[in-house]
Amino acid sequence: MRTSERLIESTRELLWERGYVGTSPKAILERAGAGQGSMYHHFRGKPDLAAAAIRRTAEEMRAAAEGVLGGPGTPYERIEAYLLRERDVLRGCPLGRLTMDPDVVADEELRAPVDETIGWLRGRLAGIVEEGKARGDFGPGLDGDEIAAAVVATVQGGYVLARASGSPAAFDAGVRGLLSLLASPPDSPPASRTAR
């Protein structure tokens, strides 16, 4: 692997583990096994390298999500597959955790890939909900944008609950709860919703 790739991959891991503030150039170089001047040979500095790492993480997350959301099955089954896909729940979301980092939120270049990826995911999910409504799988009263926001919020909030409790059980409970709401017959009132 080229030095620039090792630097990007090391930065991605450190951002996930420590956040932007906790990721020092020294730690990046040590993790990458790179010499002291190599970061500045390939990148303008830590912000430039972090932006490349965040973009790479965003691209991989989009590809992984699309692999499930664009796969076979009904709209419900595709949303279910996205919610149930394998995740390292206790590590949290490598992009979502960056929204808690004030330096990332304050820097347009660092924040943009995070915002764009979450926006893309919400749009993709909303489209699937609308597809389900057209097929009669979901009730006509459901709002695709609102359901998409609920799906993303369940995943991101589930990471927080799991990390706080030290157990993936809280994440799993949130996912099961959302799926039971989505699985209710299209014409049933909220009080009578049951899981599939």
CATH of the domain at 101: 1.10.357.10
Q: What's the CA gap between 45 and 167, in Å, rounded?
A: 37
Per-residue confidence (pLDDT) for residue 187, from 0 to 100: 59
Asked whether residue 151 is assigned to any structural domain, the reply reads yes
CA distance 55 to 110: 8
* pLDDT band for position 9 (cuts 50, 70, 90): very high
Residue 189 has pLDDT above 80, yes or no: no
Residue 18, in any domain of the structure: no
Q: For residue 151, give both structure tokens.
A: 């799906």
Between CA 79 and CA 11 the distance in angstroms is: 31
- E-state strands within 101-174: none
Is the residue at 115 inside a domain?
Answer: yes
Closest CA to 94 of 51, 47, 57: 57
Element (H, E) at 12: helix 3-18
Residue 154 lies in a domain: yes
Mean pLDDT of 117-125: 98
Asked whether residue 172 is domain-assigned, the answer is: yes
Phi and psi at residue 86, to the nearest 5°: -65, 130
CB 98 within 8 A of CB 16: no
pTM for the predicted model, two decimal places: 0.89
For residues 97 and 16, the answer to whether their CB atoms sit within 8 Å is yes
Query: How does pLDDT run across 152-182, given as a tens digit for each residue?
Result: 999 999 999 999 999 999 999 999 999 999 9
Name residue 78's amino acid.
R
106 lies in which domain range?
58-192
Q: How many CA atoms lie within 13 A of 68 on its CB side?
A: 18
Q: Tell me how many domains the chain contains.
A: 1
Q: What distance in Å separates the CA atoms of residue 28 and residue 52, rounded to the nearest whole number? A: 13
Residue 89 domain flag: yes
Asked if residue 46 is part of any domain, the answer here is no
Burial of 105 per CB tally in 10 Å (0-12, 13-18, 19+): middle
Please tell me the predicted confidence (pLDDT) of residue 192: 42
In a domain, residue 20? The reply is: no
